[in-house]
Structure 1
Amino acid sequence: MAKNYYDITLALAGICQSARLVQQLAHGGQCDREGMMVSLKSILETNPASTLDVFGGQESNLKIGLETLMGVLNANRQGPGAELTRYTLSLMVLERKLNAQKSAMNTLGERIDQLDRQLVHYDLESETLLSSLASIYVDVVSPLGPRIQVTGSPTILQSPQVQARVRAVLLAGIRSAVLWHQVGGGRLQLMFFRNRLFQQAKNILAHC
């Protein structure tokens, strides 16, 4: 069956958006607020009508992710590009481990469903919700290993608020990696169909 490279590219951009936000947080303590909200909201989209619906139904919501994906597909082995590639591939590895453990996947779904009660009282970007999202990542995803080594400013990374944001955004990256797998994504595409993915990302960006 022919692969839907539009959906695969959107899901990949979701992973890459999380990677870029983690990088921004780790080096500067802040990240693109709109991009982060798109990523965090994607975690709550557990029954979407389409791949794009996971990201709020607008291609422009994935602008950061699409630009990052194009950079990752053309990445050098050193510098910021290599860091983004490492985060992206690490999220894919963790998703594979999560997918192999049905109990962990079930627990993840239950914990995400429980967030609805908190969302009645708190905004998604409140410290309370960010802490809850971070704890889901720490309790359910992180133990599956290997742990993602986040590099940046040691002083910034010591901040509990930054740590919570990084883990919440990594959870969003896992959400996109699950989606990527569901729509037919696979590691071989990154080796053999890089140009096709690059061109698809470029085409989508042209609409944004």
Structure 2
Amino acid sequence: MKERALALAGLLQSAEAVTRLATGEPVRNDIVENCVSSIFRLDAPSTEAIFGKAENLRRGMELLAAQAAGNVSTQAVHLRIALTVLQVERRLIARPDLLQRLQQGIIDAEPAGNQFGLTSEELHARLGELYAQTISTLTPRVLVQGDPGLLSQSRVVMSIRTLLLAAVRSAVLWRQLGGSYWDFFLRRGKIAHAARTWLREIDH
């Protein structure tokens, strides 16, 4: 469960960043960088290496520990996004044609990340369009609510889609580690314990 907690933390961290962008709340650049960098680590040597290091998921671990303990009142929006992403990921895995297209698109976009940076408008435009052409064609659609003025801006929409792609990456990892949609609910105690364990290790 400890490795699975990393995947769920990555999922929640990306989902919260999405809701912050959509509502105009500040999002730390390092969190965006950590989310986006995980998209490109398709063949990492370990679960932790997908996210660079566990410390990069501190915010996600805090969210996971709170959610698993039942403290969801302030997290309802991004929790809904995370759960929808878990459903979408199951549909994606059933479509090897889309999955192959997605993987190739990620490989093709990586040079833009190296050239312009992980938070750049150029990279997010490419990844956002890739998301629209692949994952957005699946159901259920991931619906993001927020400030209509912000959600009418192409730059914001592309960044949101890029972060949703990062969320899908974490959902894929969760499944690869043996997690299921219902485990998110049925194993809350073990998930919370794993998240708190990670937070203690990060703090020491």
- TM bucket normalised to smaller: over 0.9
Question: Cα distance, 1:113 vs. partner?
Answer: 0.9
Q: Could you list the runs of 4 or more consecutive aligned residues of structure 1 that deviate by over 3 angstroms after TM superposition?
A: none
- Kept after mapping to 2: 8 A contact 1:75/1:82: no
- Cα distance change of structure 1 residues 64 and 120 upon mapping to structure 2, 3 Å threshold: closer
Q: How many matched pairs?
A: 201
Distance in 2 (CA, whole Å) between partners of 1:109 and 1:40 is 14
Between the aligned partners of 2:18 and 2:136, the Cα distance in structure 1 is 15
For residue 149 of structure 1, what is the amino acid of its counterpart?
L
What CA distance in whole angstroms lies between the structure 1 residues aligned with 2:134 and 2:71? 31
The equivalent of 1:181 in structure 2 is 175
Query: Is contact 2:87-2:181 (8 Å) kept?
Result: no
Structure 1: distance between partners of 2:10 and 2:57: 7
Q: Give the distance between the partners of 2:185 and 2:81, measured in 1 at CA.
A: 17
TM-score, normalization: structure 1? 0.91
Q: Which of 64, 67, 72 is equivalent to 2:62?
A: 67
Deviation of 1:26 (Å): 1.1
Q: CA deviation at 1:188?
A: 2.7
Give the stretch that moved more between structures: 45-54 or 119-128. Answer: 119-128
SS in 1 for 2:134: helix
Give 1:2-17 correspondences, 5 Å limit. Answer: 5-17=1-13
The 10-residue stretch of structure 1 (171-180 or 145-154) with the greater mean CA deviation from structure 2? 145-154
Conservation of the 8 A alpha-carbon contact between 2:29 and 2:119: no
Matches of 2:114 and 2:19, distance apart in 1: 30
Q: CA deviation at 1:121?
A: 3.1
Structure 2 match to 1:200: 194
Q: Distance in 1 between matches of 2:26 and 2:157?
A: 11
The one-letter code matched in structure 1 to 2:18 is: V
1:156 shift after superposition? 1.9
Whether 1:23 and 2:37 are equivalent positions in the alignment is: no
Instruction: List runs of 5+ in structure 1 lacking aligned partners.
Output: none
- Aligned with 1:186: secondary structure? coil
Asked if the contact 1:20/1:64 (under 8 Å) is kept, the reply is: no
Spell out the pairing of 1:34-45 with structure 2 (5 A cutoff). Answer: 34-45=30-41
1:116 Cα deviation after fit: 3.0
**Using the alignment, how far apart are the partners of 1:119 and 1:168 within structure 2?**
12
Farther-moved stretch of structure 1 (67-76 vs 130-139)? 67-76
| Residues 8-35 of structure 1, C-alpha deviations (whole Å, 9 max, x = no match) | 1000111101111011111125412111
1:51 aligns with 2:32: no
Map 1:133-144 onto structure 2 (within 5 A): 133-144=127-138
Q: Distance in 1 between matches of 2:35 and 2:114?
A: 20
**What SS does structure 1 have at the residue aligned with 2:65?**
helix
Does residue 110 of the first structure (1) align with residue 104 of the second (2)? yes
Q: By how many angstroms is 1:151 displaced?
A: 1.3
Provide closer, same or farther for how the CA distance between residues 119 and 153 of structure 1 changes in structure 2, counting only shifts above 3 A.
closer
Between the aligned partners of 1:190 and 1:54, the Cα distance in structure 2 is 21
Q: Distance in 1 between matches of 2:65 and 2:24?
A: 22
Over aligned residue pairs, what C-alpha RMSD do you find? Answer: 1.4
Residue 154 (str. 1) matches residue 153 (str. 2) = no
